[in-house]
C-alpha cells in the first residue's frame, strides 16, 4: 500500500491553460500517438495537421480529404494514420511520406474509426444507422459485426485495451460483449453515446444520454456473462447543472477521468478510485467544445473549441534544490562570511577522503551505451519498446538565403544562365536537371456496400437531417459539380503576378484553364487560401 499512498499526494491532472495550437484551418478532432510525441488534428478543410508536441510546432500537413475530417486514429507503431471525413470516405495515410495507401467509400457518414490495438491491418468503422464494420486493409475486405437488435442501429463500438473484444452499445442501453443493459435505476434503459477504455488496467467508461458517466471493470463484465447486471464502479455526473457530456476519456495512467461539456468549453476532472470531482477547467465563455484528448504519459489535456486546440497543463514551479541539495532560497539579503581557505588554490581545511571509497569510484565502469526501456511506453505484457516506432517526424530547416547550394548547378553556370536566359528560364532549367518526378501512385478506392443503410444521412458535424429543404449546406467541394462551374460564385480571381497571368500557349493554356475550372468548385474559404 506504500506506493499507492505516495502516488496519491502527487496531483496528476492539469490545473491551468498552457497556450493554444493554431492550425490556420478550423480544428475539429485531435488524437495523440501512443507516446504523446505527436498530435494529429483533423480540420474542416480536409487537412490533417501533425504537431510535434515537444516543440509545439507543425511537423507535417497532409491534404487528406475534400470535406471536413471527423475522426482520426494512430496505428500502434505510429507509422500510419486512419481518417474519416464527412463525405463518407475512410483513408489510411503513411505519416512519413504523407501518401494515401488506400480509401474506402461508405454509403453513410462515419462517426468513428479505430485501429486494432495490436494489429494495424484491421480497422473498426462505426457508420451512422449501421452495425459496426471491421475492415481488413491487406485484402480490402470488410465484415459487418453482429448486433443484438437489428431494428436499433444507433450503435457505437470500441476495441478493448488489447483488442481481444469489441464492445458495442446501442440506443436501448445495451452493451454487447457480455450483453448487459445500462439502466437509470427505474428499469428504464438509456442510450449509449460512447465507450472509452483506459490505457492501463481493465476499466472502461460509458457515456450515456442520461448525462451520467458510468465506469465499469472489464473483468467483472466478462464474469457476469450474457444478460448479467453488473454494477458500475463509479457514476460521475454534474449534479448542479445536469451537464450533458460531449467527449470523455481516461488519463494516461487510468487514475483520472475527464469529461468535456456539450454546453460550453468546460472540462470536468474526476478521480476514478474515489469518484470525487477534483478540478473544473473553464475555457472562453460562449465557445462550444468539440473534442478532448488526454496525453498518454503526462498530465496534459488537449481540447478543441472554435477551431483552436487549447492545451491544459500543470503549473511548473522551479525547484532549484532538486538540482543542488545545498541550495537555499533567501527571502532577503544575508551578509556572507567568507571562510579562511575558500579561495585558496588548495583547500587546507578539506578532510582527506577515504582511499578505499575513491578507488572504488574510479574502478566502477559507467554504462553509457545501453538504453533502458521507458516503463510508461511499454505495455504490461511487453518488456521492450518497439524499435521501429515513429516517435518524431524529421523537419527540414528553412534557409532563406543559402550561401551555397550543394544540390544545384555550379555558381558560374547560374550567373551565365541568369544573364542569357533570364530568371524564369533558370528556374525551369534547375527543375529539369533534377530529373522527372515520378507520378504519385493513385490509391485504391474500395466501395463498401451495406444492406439496408440509408444513403441520405447527414453527418452530425454538418447539421441535423431535415426534410430536404432545410438541410444544411455541406462543407467542402459539392458533389457532381465537375464541368458545371461557369456561374460558380467561388471562381478564383487571377491577379497580376499569379500563375494565371503568365503567357501560355496551346496545351499548357488548356491545362491551366482546366485546373482553374476544378478549383472554382472548392469552397470560398479554400479559394482564398489558394490565391
* Tens digit of pLDDT at every position of the chain (531 positions): 333 333 444 678 999 999 999 998 999 999 999 999 999 999 999 999 999 999 999 999 999 999 999 999 999 999 999 999 999 999 999 999 999 999 999 999 999 999 999 999 999 999 988 899 999 999 999 999 988 776 667 789 999 998 999 998 887 777 666 566 776 665 567 888 999 999 988 899 999 999 999 999 988 888 887 777 788 999 999 989 999 999 999 999 999 999 999 999 999 999 999 999 999 999 988 899 999 999 999 999 999 999 999 999 998 777 777 777 777 778 889 888 887 777 777 766 666 655 555 555 566 788 888 878 777 777 776 667 777 889 999 876 766 666 655 555 555 544 444 444 444 444 444 444 444 455 667 888 899 988 878 887 888 888 744 444 333 444 544 444 444 443 433 333 333 333 333 343 444 444 434 443 443 333 333 333 333
**Beta-strand relationship, 100-105 and 16-21:** unpaired
Q: Cβ atoms within 10 A of the Cβ of 432, count?
A: 9
Give me the torsion for CA of 429, 432, 433, 436, rounded to 10°.
180
Q: Helix, strand or coil for residue 274?
A: coil
Determine the pLDDT at residue 513.
44
Beta strands in 66-153 (DSSP E): 69-74, 80-85, 89-94, 100-105, 110-115, 122-127, 133-136, 141-144
List of residues 6+ apart from 223 with CB closer than 8 A = none
**CB neighbourhood size of 50 (10 A):** 21
Contact predicate 100/69, CB 8 Å: no
Task: For residues 531 and 529, give the distance between their C-alpha atoms in angstroms, rounded to a whole number.
Answer: 6
b/e map 11-45, b = 16+ CB within 10 Å: eebbeeebeebebebbbbbbbbbbbbbbbbbbbbb
Residue 486's pLDDT is what? 39
Amino acid at each position: 500500500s506504500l506506493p499507492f499512498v505516495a502516488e496519491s499526494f502527487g496531483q496528476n491532472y492539469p490545473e491551468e491553460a498552457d497556450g493554444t495550437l493554431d492550425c490556420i484551418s478550423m480544428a475539429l478532432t485531435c488524437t495523440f500517438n501512443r507516446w504523446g510525441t505527436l498530435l494529429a488534428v483533423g480540420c474542416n478543410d480536409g487537412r490533417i495537421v501533425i504537431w510535434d508536441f515537444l516543440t509545439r510546432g507543425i511537423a507535417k500537413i497532409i491534404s487528406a480529404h475534400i470535406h471536413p475530417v471527423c475522426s482520426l486514429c494512430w496505428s500502434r507503431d505510429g507509422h500510419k494514420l486512419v481518417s474519416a471525413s464527412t463525405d463518407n470516405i475512410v483513408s489510411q495515410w503513411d505519416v512519413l511520406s504523407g501518401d494515401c495507401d488506400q480509401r474506402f467509400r461508405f454509403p453513410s457518414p462515419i462517426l468513428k474509426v479505430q485501429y486494432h490495438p495490436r494489429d494495424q491491418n484491421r480497422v473498426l468503422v462505426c457508420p451512422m444507422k449501421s452495425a459496426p464494420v471491421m475492415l481488413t486493409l491487406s485484402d480490402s475486405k470488410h465484415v459487418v459485426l453482429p448486433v443484438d437488435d437489428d431494428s436499433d442501429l444507433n450503435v457505437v463500438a470500441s476495441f478493448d485495451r488489447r483488442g481481444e473484444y469489441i464492445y458495442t452499445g446501442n440506443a436501448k442501453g445495451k452493451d454487447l460483449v457480455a450483453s448487459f443493459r445500462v439502466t437509470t435505476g427505474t428499469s428504464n434503459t438509456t442510450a449509449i453515446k460512447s465507450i472509452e477504455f483506459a490505457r492501463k488496467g481493465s476499466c472502461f467508461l460509458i457515456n450515456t444520454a442520461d448525462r451520467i458517466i458510468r465506469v465499469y471493470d472489464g473483468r467483472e463484465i466478462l464474469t457476469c456473462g450474457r444478460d448479467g447486471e453488473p454494477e458500475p464502479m463509479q457514476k460521475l455526473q454534474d449534479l448542479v447543472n445536469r451537464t450533458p457530456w460531449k467527449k470523455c476519456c481516461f488519463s494516461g495512467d487510468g487514475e483520472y477521468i475527464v469529461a468535456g461539456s456539450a454546453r460550453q468549453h468546460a472540462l470536468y476532472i474526476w478521480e476514478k478510485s474515489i469518484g470525487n470531482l477534483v478540478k473544473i477547467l473553464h475555457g472562453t465563455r460562449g465557445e462550444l467544445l468539440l473534442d478532448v484528448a488526454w496525453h498518454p504519459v503526462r498530465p496534459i489535456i488537449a481540447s478543441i473549441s472554435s477551431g483552436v486546440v487549447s492545451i491544459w497543463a500543470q503549473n511548473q514551479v522551479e525547484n532549484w534544490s532538486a538540482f543542488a541539495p545545498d541550495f537555499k532560497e533567501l527571502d532577503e539579503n544575508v551578509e556572507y562570511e567568507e571562510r579562511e581557505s575558500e579561495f585558496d588554490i588548495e583547500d587546507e581545511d578539506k578532510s582527506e577522503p577515504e582511499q578505499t571509497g575513491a578507488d572504488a569510484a574510479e574502478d566502477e565502469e559507467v554504462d553509457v551505451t545501453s538504453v533502458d526501456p521507458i516503463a510508461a511506453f511499454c505495455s504490461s505484457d511487453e518488456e521492450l519498446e518497439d524499435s521501429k516506432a515513429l516517435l518524431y517526424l524529421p523537419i527540414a530547416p528553412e534557409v532563406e538565403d543559402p550561401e551555397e547550394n550543394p544540390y544545384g548547378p555550379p555558381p558560374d553556370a547560374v550567373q551565365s544562365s541568369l544573364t542569357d536566359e533570364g530568371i524564369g528560364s533558370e528556374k525551369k532549367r534547375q527543375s529539369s536537371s533534377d530529373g522527372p518526378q515520378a507520378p504519385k501512385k493513385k490509391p485504391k478506392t474500395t466501395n463498401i456496400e451495406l444492406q439496408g443503410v440509408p444513403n441520405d444521412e447527414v453527418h452530425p458535424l454538418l447539421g441535423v437531417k431535415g426534410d430536404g429543404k432545410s438541410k444544411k449546406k455541406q462543407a467542402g467541394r459539392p458533389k457532381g459539380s465537375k464541368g458545371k462551374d461557369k456561374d460558380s460564385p467561388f471562381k478564383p480571381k487571377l491577379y497580376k503576378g499569379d500563375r494565371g497571368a503568365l503567357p501560355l500557349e496551346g496545351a499548357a493554356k488548356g491545362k491551366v484553364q482546366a485546373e482553374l475550372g476544378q478549383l472554382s468548385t472548392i469552397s470560398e474559404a479554400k479559394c482564398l487560401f489558394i490565391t
